[in-house]
Amino acid sequence: INFKMYKKEFANSNLKSLITTQGNFLIKLGILKRAEIISKNIQFSKKADIFYRIKRLIDAKYMGSLFKVLFVSKFKNNFNLGFK
């Protein structure tokens, strides 16, 4: 997907757009903190499994940079959770 082209088209339509990687998005939403919370009182093997799966989602070597997240809104909207 040509995200730069989409970003330009959104700007031409007076829309604000932000693009980030899946890894950055999930980290900024707090996936690591949530994993710590849910894995507090569980067996080590299950905890390791949770963190292994999260690593696959956020690590740039795996899916973290493979997928992108696109946010589009009106310029007046200041919502940007997970992007900044």
- Cα separation, 4 vs 15, in Å, equals 14
Total number of domains constituting the chain: 1
Asked if residue 15 belongs to a domain, the reply is yes
Rg, the chain, Cα only = 16
Which range marks the domain in which residue 63 is found? 3-74
pLDDT along the chain (84 residues), means of 10: 89 90 94 94 94 96 92 77 70
CA dihedral of residues 7, 9, 12, 17 (deg, nearest 10): -30
pLDDT of res. 80: 67
pLDDT of res. 84: 67
Asked if residue 82 belongs to a domain, the reply is no
